[in-house]
Amino acid sequence: MSDPRCAAVEALLSQAGELASGERVERFEQLQGGWSRHSHIAHIAGGSEGRRYIVRVRPPGALLDTDLGLEFRVFAALEGADVAAPRVYGLEPLADSPFDGPFFVMEFLPGVAPNMYGRDDQAMLAADWDGARAIATDMVTTLAAIHGLDAAALPDDLPRLSFGDIVARWRSVYEERRLVRDPVIEQGFAWLEEQTPLDSREGLVHGDFRIGNTLIDKGRLTAVLDWELAYAGDVRFDLGYLALERSAGKHLRRRTPFMGTFADQAWFLERYGELTGSPVTEEELRPFQMLSIMMLLATQITAVWMYANGRTTDFRMVWARYSFPGLRDDMVRLMQW
């Protein structure tokens, strides 16, 4: 019996003019990882050797309630911009699909997403920093380009979120889904209320900008992936998130001296300031670091809540409880207790 997923993907690719006569989707290969999205490689037969696409699916019971259609439109808006990202070819918005959820088809680009927790990839990124700094330069150049994108080119339904909106969003997750009250998290929210920035630097925020959400091929960045958390707001969020020790591979203890595992922080911020014309200090990133921690905690709280409420049997959701100690450690230092 034929796989109905093949016909569904072929239909989108045909509409986009991507399939030549005689070409068809032969098989799928599910990629590892993915808490809120599942990704499959679609292998094409009947044409040039080794043609592939990526199918990105929002599965039922996804960890984060994010809009796959909006993510598709963000990818589409990036075409022609100076941001390395895969092209997208078609969206199936219906949940009742052969993939058990809405999905879109996008370009397969060469490269591997570095594992920021892995010693080998940490060493590879440190070697880049000590040598050509090509990856570090690509990362800062790309982030500056993202933040400088013309707002008129972005999707009309891209949410506009203020600092306070985001605090409220993650606080509501904590209030609704926590299994225990946590004094450090609650004090963290109180601290955030006192630290709300007086100004805002508006632009496109990726929302999950880290080395693990990029593809690196032959020592260069080939794509920025995972735009499901993108919004319009204060772009310093991406910098604060990147400045977290967690973004540098910390689970319990700091693992590398580098921002995001790939660059010296002072260098990165200086270069970012030069590229954007808007210097940023480490001090002003502190509220955004805390906000980033709240986002991470909200996902971990949701993970444990989903398991405890019988919505998943995925053991990774139980393991998520071991993310809390390292993040609390970051919080007490940010708050200077």
Binding site for other proteins (CB under 8 A): 30, 32, 178-184, 186-187, 190, 251-253, 301, 304-305, 307-308, 313-316, 318-319, 321-322, 324-326, 328-329, 332, 335, 337
Shortest CB 184 distance to other proteins, Å: 6
Cβ closer to other proteins: 9 or 304? 304
Work out the burial of residue 149: count CB atoms within 10 Å of its CB; fewer than 13 is exposed, 13-18 middle, 19 or more buried.
middle
Choose among 41, 55, 58: nearest CA to 8: 55
Cβ closer to other proteins: 78 or 301? 301
Shortest CB 179 distance to other proteins, Å: 4
Cβ closer to other proteins: 101 or 207? 101
Cβ closer to other proteins: 220 or 321? 321
Question: Could you give the CA distance from residue 248 to residue 178 in angstroms, rounded to a whole number?
Answer: 27
- C-alpha pair distances (Å), 79 with each of 93, 110, 223, 238: 20, 17, 12, 21
Shortest CB 254 distance to other proteins, Å: 10
Buried b (16+ CB within 10 A) or exposed e, 72-100: bbbbbbbeebebbbbbbbbbbeeeebebe
DSSP state letters, 103-136? EEEEE--S-B---TT-HHHHHHHHHHHHTT-HHH
Choose among 238, 261, 263, 239: nearest CA to 248: 261
Choose among 228, 213, 296, 312: nearest CA to 56: 228
Choose among 161, 166, 170: nearest CA to 302: 170
Shortest CB 85 distance to other proteins, Å: 26
Cβ closer to other proteins: 185 or 223? 185
Shortest CB 328 distance to other proteins, Å: 5
Cβ closer to other proteins: 16 or 252? 252
Cβ closer to other proteins: 164 or 325? 325
Shortest CB 300 distance to other proteins, Å: 9
Question: Could you give the CA distance from residue 263 to residue 260 in angstroms, rounded to a whole number?
Answer: 7
Cβ closer to other proteins: 174 or 237? 174
Cβ closer to other proteins: 124 or 184? 184
* Largest Cα span, the chain: 66
Cβ–Cβ under 8 Å, residues 111 and 216: yes
Shortest CB 94 distance to other proteins, Å: 25
Shortest CB 326 distance to other proteins, Å: 6
Residue 228 in tokens: 């499901």
Shortest CB 275 distance to other proteins, Å: 35
Residue 286 in tokens: 């502190």
